Structure 1
Amino acid sequence: MERLEVTETFAGISLPGHLHTQESLGFATTFPFRPSDVLIATYPKSGTTWMQEILTLLFSCGDILPAKTIPNWERAPWLEQTYFREALRDTATPRLITTHLPARVLGPALQRSKTKVIYVARNPKDVAVSFYHFHRLAKFLPDPGSFETFLTQFLEGTVHYGSWFDHVKGWLGQRHLLDILYVTYEELHQDLRGTAQRLSAFLGCALAPETLGALEQHCSFASMRDNAMANYTLIPPEIMDHSQGRFMRKGEVGDWHRHFTPQQNACFNRIYQEQMGDVELPMPWPIA
């Protein structure tokens, strides 16, 4: 498999060369967004797949066939990845697009286009745990070493995809400049129905009772975990070592409690307060 050991550096962050080239990343920064486009923006392991599935069901009016027959990376292709241009269904309206890129890279183009943006955030402690396990699974990401080593790099912002703190603050700093809806992983977990209703109102997309019922059933964690179009089991073992675990591992809120030592938690809380203490955000996770 090509470029598994390659790292690309772009806009000051490291990205896996298996999925990105300088050309594909440059194309992303100049992509001609349309007002009818919908962009899912996330830091890795923050609920991206979940949002892709929810929006698939919303836009299909509850028809689960697309979600059961088309891989999610084709239904909502990644703007910055090498395959994007061939995967984007250019005639579709709305076009559903996904990105992990920071707002400082995409903000100017999005401001001009009036594209709707859905930003999904998650408790960074759970993100760190999930991202660590994903590194063990994904052969296009560096060996994470011990969890303690990985957590240090995560807090420093030196992991692939950069700093969680910068990513969240960057996108939320655009909230007065973009047509953006902020959603958390925890909301999806606690109130999927209510979040789907918020999304439908934001997108101007009708949400009939039968659509909501199909969405709640298909977008449960158990259903997504068993759906080959969403759980990445289609990816060959040369790229994802499935013997190391599942891409959709637990889907829990608060799994970090099983991984953090008291010392790691105290260190994380201190850095979190330094980075986020002055940020006014509707974050439903306690930092303690």
Structure 2
Amino acid sequence: MELPPRPKLFDFHGVSMTHYFTDNWENIQNFQARPDDILIATYPKAGTTWVSYILDLLYFGQTAPERQTSLPIYERVPFLESDFHIIPPGTELADKLSTSPRLIKTHLPVQLVPKSFWEQNCRIVYVARNAKDNAVSYFHFDRMNQAHPEPGDWNNFLQRFMDGKMVFGSWYDHVTGWWEKKQTHSKILYLFYEDMVEDTGRELDRLCSFLGLSPSAEEKERVRGGVKFDNMKKNSMANCSTDPVMDFKISPFMRKGVCVCLCARERMRERNKH
């Protein structure tokens, strides 16, 4: 299948976007959420697929195990605002979901989320990642993602990242906008990527508590094993290798899964022991 041409960045309601995320805007804004929908929200490359896979395993790993080997993650957890023209738009994929709850992902800043998610008081899981790791991961993502503009060299990319001239806008505005919304909306769980790396089990417990789930210790261990980075990277239904807008000849979608800041923290702890 021929990959789509690289798009141009433009201002859209004060946020930098490409047409692949605005062409279907009327249907996005009119999307009808359901009370039991769970929205997974992140800035790009902040752990979206990881949390999506965790939730899919928690809800359907035992009741519908065939999903794990027959449907790629982007069909199990549709990307709401996407419209790549070579697969159905995210709103259509979400509307066709037969699961309850429906798991839906978005990279939209909080002010652009369809109003029905607030009206239906849906649960929302937001994941934030530190700017340094997020920028590096985003750079390599843009190298292989045909739905984003060419990233250029690292220095120019980093400057654009700091200026907020990225698809889905400013990292700072995104993470702070959702943090501020959390203060007034009780059904937002705000997670940090670094915490998930440091202690996946602890954050899994937080997720379960937020969602009202009580999996057995055996079930939680099965989920933890399934979502380990190396396991997901080798899993064609989780690593986005079947996504037609991703060019794996340039870079894998899942690269290293490490946190520079977390590694630095661990090195500091080791030094302090001596």
Shorter-chain TM band: 0.7 to 0.9
Q: Which residue of 2 aligns with 1:80?
A: 81
Structure 2 counterpart of 1:143: 150
- CA deviations 1:206-231 (Å, max 9, x no partner) are 21122111101110000000010111
Distance 2:250 2:140 in 1: 8
- Whole-angstrom distance in 1 between the partners of 2:143 and 2:68: 27
Residues 139-178 of structure 1 mapped to structure 2, 5 A cutoff: 139-178=146-185
CA distance in 1, matches of 2:61, 2:239: 22
What is aligned with 1:114? Answer: 121
One-letter amino acid of the structure 2 residue matched with residue 129 of structure 1: V
Matched, 1:193 2:201: yes
CA contact (8 A) 1:62 1:214 kept: no
Match of 2:103 among 96, 114, 121: 96
RMSD: 2.3
The answer as to whether partners of 1:62 and 1:215 remain within 8 angstroms in 2 is no
Q: Secondary structure at the match of 2:113?
A: helix
| Corresponding residue of 2:55 | 55
Q: 1:250 aligns with which of 251, 256, 261?
A: 256
Q: Which amino acid aligns with 2:107?
A: H
List gaps (5 residues or longer) in structure 1. 259-285
Structure 1 pair 62/212, CA: closer, same or farther in 2 (3 Å)? farther
* Letter aligned with residue 52 of structure 1: S
TM-score for both structures, normalised by structure 2 = 0.85
SS of the residue aligned with 2:124? strand
Q: CA 1:68–1:61 in structure 2 vs 1: closer, same or farther (change >3 Å)?
A: closer
Contact 2:74–2:240 (Cα < 8 Å) also in 1: no
Secondary structure at the aligned position of 2:104 is classed as strand
Tell me, what secondary structure is at the counterpart of 1:39? strand
SS in 1 for 2:105: strand
Shift of 1:199: 0.6
Q: Distance in 1 between matches of 2:233 and 2:248?
A: 13
Conserved 8 A contact 1:33-1:109? yes
State the partner residue of 1:11: 13
Residue matched to 1:229: 237
Runs of 4+ in 1 over 6 A off after TM superposition: 255-258
Following the alignment from structure 2 to structure 1, what is the Cα–Cα distance between the partners of residues 67 and 97? 17
- Measured after TM superposition, the shift of residue 81 of structure 1 is 1.5
Letter in 1 for 2:162: L
Matching residue within 226, 238, 242 for 1:218: 226
CA distance 1:81–1:140, shift in 2 (3 Å): closer
Percent of aligned pairs with the same residue? 36
SS of residue in 2 equivalent to 1:243: coil
CA contact (8 A) 1:138 1:240 kept: yes
| Pair 106,51 (structure 1): closer, same or farther in 2 beyond 3 Å | same
Equivalences for residues 24-39 of structure 1 within 5 A: 24-39=24-39
For 2:213 and 2:124, the matched residues in 1 are separated by 14
What is the distance in 2 between the residues matched to 1:103 and 1:75?
23
**For structure 2, which runs of at least 5 residues remain unmatched after alignment?**
84-88, 269-274
Q: TM-score, normalised by structure 1?
A: 0.81
Helix, strand or coil for the counterpart of 1:41? strand
